[in-house]
Structure formats: C-alpha cells, structure tokens
Amino acid sequence: MIKPEKPSNEALRLDALYRYRILDTDKEKSFEDLVTIAKAVCGTSMAAVTLIDAERQWFKSIQGTEAAELPRAESMCGHAILQPQEVMVIEDARIDERFHDNPIVTGAPHVRFYAGAPLISNEGYPLGTLCVFDPQPHHLDTDQTEALAALSRQVMLVMELRRFAQDIQTHMLEREDYERLLNEYHDLLLAQNADLAEQSRTDVLTGLPNRRAMSVALEASVADADGQPRQTAVALVDIDHFKQINDFHGHATGDRVLAALGVLLRAHFSGRGMAARYGGEEFVVLMPDTDLRTAELQCDFLRMAVAELPLGFPVTISIGVAAHKVGDSVDQTVSRADAALYQAKRNGRDRVEIAG
C-alpha cells in the first residue's frame, strides 16, 4: 500500500478546512441529497462526502457502507486531493499498485472501483472529495465524470452557505459586522464567476446581465459557428410570493433577496451557462449544450440552494425549463419555459416543471 503524500501547502490547507467548522458535525440533508444524486448518476452502490484532516479521513455523509472516519494513510481520497483539478478514477483497485493491498480493498467494504472529485475552497485548497465507489470494477463515461465534478462544486457551495449562515448567527447583533460579512459573501461568489463580470450590459441591483444581454446570448447559443443547431435549455426562475416579502419586510429587504439570488445564480451556472435578470423578481437561465434532464437537475440544485439562503425568513423559487427546438425562435422557447413556470406555480410552487 502506498500512503498518500501530503500537499506542500498542507498547513494552509488545514487552516482553510478548519474555518468551515464542519468536522465531527451531525448529518445534514443538503449533503445527504448530493451524495444520493452522485451515487445514482454514477451507478455505484456507495458514495460519500469526505474531508481530509491531518491524520484522518472524515465522512460528512456516507451511503452504502458504515464508517465515520478512516486513517488518512488508507484513504484513496488522500491521493485524489493531490491533483485538485482532476477527477481521480480507479477502475479496478486490485490491479493498482497504490491500492491493491489497502485494507479497504482487501477487507470491507472491498472497494474495487473509486472516483473522487476534489472539493476546492474559494482560496484554491483541496479539502476533501465527493467520491463514489463500488465492490465491482466500473467505468465512468465523460458525462458521468463531468456530473461528479459539477456535484462536487455543489457540495462546496453548500459548505460556503453553511459557513456564511454560522457567521450571520454569530454577528447578527452587530449590524456593521453583518454588512461586512454579506459583502464578503457577495465578493466570494462573484470571484468564482468572473466571466460574467465581462458582460457589458448588467442589472445594477443583482450584477447579472440584463434582459437585452440575455437576448443576444440566447440567439448566439442555439447554433454553432457553422450555423448548426446546438442542444440548448432555457429556464425561467421566479421568486415565490415576492410581493409579500416587499409588503411585510420592506422593499430594501426585497432588494436584498434579489441580490442574494443574483449571487447564487452566478455561482450555480459559472462556466456552464449564463443567468440574467429578466424583470422584477424573474430571472432567466441559459444552459448551452445541455439536455432537458440535466437542465432539470441543475435547476433542482438551485431550488434547494435558495431554500437554504440565510436571509432570516424562508424564500423559495419556482422554475420552468424548456429545451430549444430546431425551427423555433428563441422567443418561442422562452414562452414554453414561461408556460412551464406557470405550471410550477399552479402545482404548489417551490418546484421545477419541464415544458413538453
């Protein structure tokens, strides 16, 4: 068994991990849901959110086997964090010289297949992985590998939201500290999505592109440079009962909700799409090269993240999703997404509906 080396920046990496105050905490549904999805998407019997401490691997969530932690020396994830920009895949651990005699391979849970997507902090430190594993040799195709990486980014987003909520609770009585933390949170997610900052036409309140900028992007996204159709999905997002938020909490609070959702949309669709403020409390999301099922999953992740925003009162969203059809105009695609949005509202809100 080859023990994993420690990164050259190990002390800084551990400092970053400890700032999340997450080690040895109880299970949380947000992490459990993402592990369930990772296991289903990759077709494995086991999956986990794991964090690499100084001498141990600790599981925030694990499904398919029972374990709270393992020695870091036996950790496959300890190897995975050494290449933080890659998903480490081991199709058969019994023929891998690093792991063939590892206790978790030779004994329970008899791991043969492993894939781990590193969890990268906003400072760039690998804190652990979202991993899937199985007692049978296995293979991930490109879509599954990309989906696992995308889910690992969702785990980090939940960790950021969790840390932010803790900070808010600690400093709620100090308005100045609260405003500072809110600005830091905004800057953090904004930095992760610097590509959207290049958009010249933006909505002042949310920092997102405005309706005109989105219209240009929509037209460009439905065909490639040669004029051939591209698979593109569009979603319309609406804040549920937004008028009541303004009426009961004031328009300043309503603006804070819009700004927080803008920040979340930036983080959620960075690098793989574009979000814009469409008008009022409505937003539009463009997902190029994305099929309808994947778009529905991404929107459901967004819906769950919004429900956990630490705003001091519950906020939910309804979403309608449509796939662009060859021969349709972009306006027709947006109209179909709008119809699906209204269906989501008729069906009780806080849900995602797809257009037929």
User: What token pair was written down for 239?
Assistant: 């804040």
Residue 73 DSSP code: G
Instruction: Respond yes or no on whether the N-terminal peptide bond of residue 109 is cis (omega within 30° of 0).
Output: yes
User: What token pair was written down for 94?
Assistant: 């019994």
Chain center to CA of 164: 16
Instruction: Quote the strand ranges of 146-302, DSSP E.
Output: 232-239, 274-279, 282-288
Nearest to 63 by CA among 37, 24, 26: 37
Nearest-angstrom CA–CA distance, 343 and 337: 10
Nearest-angstrom CA–CA distance, 288 and 274: 9
Say which residue the tokens 């551990």 belong to.
14
**Residues 352, 287: contact at Cβ < 8 Å?**
no
Pairing of strands 113-120, 126-134: antiparallel
Beta bridge pairs of residue 133: 46, 114
Nearest-angstrom CA–CA distance, 239 and 39: 30
Instruction: Quote the strand ranges of the chain, DSSP E.
Output: 46-52, 56-63, 69-71, 88-90, 113-120, 126-134, 232-239, 274-279, 282-288, 317-323, 352-354
Say which residue the tokens 């296991």 belong to.
39
Q: How many helices (H) and strands (E) does the chain have?
A: 11, 11
Work out the angle at residue 110's Cα, subtended by the Cα atoms of residues 108 and 115, and round it to the nearest 5 degrees: 125
74 is catalytic: no
Query: Out of 281, 296, 308, 353, which one is annotated catalytic?
Result: 281
Total residues belonging to the chain: 356
Within a 10 A sphere around the Cβ of 225, how many other Cβ atoms? 6
Question: Residues with catalytic annotation?
Answer: 281
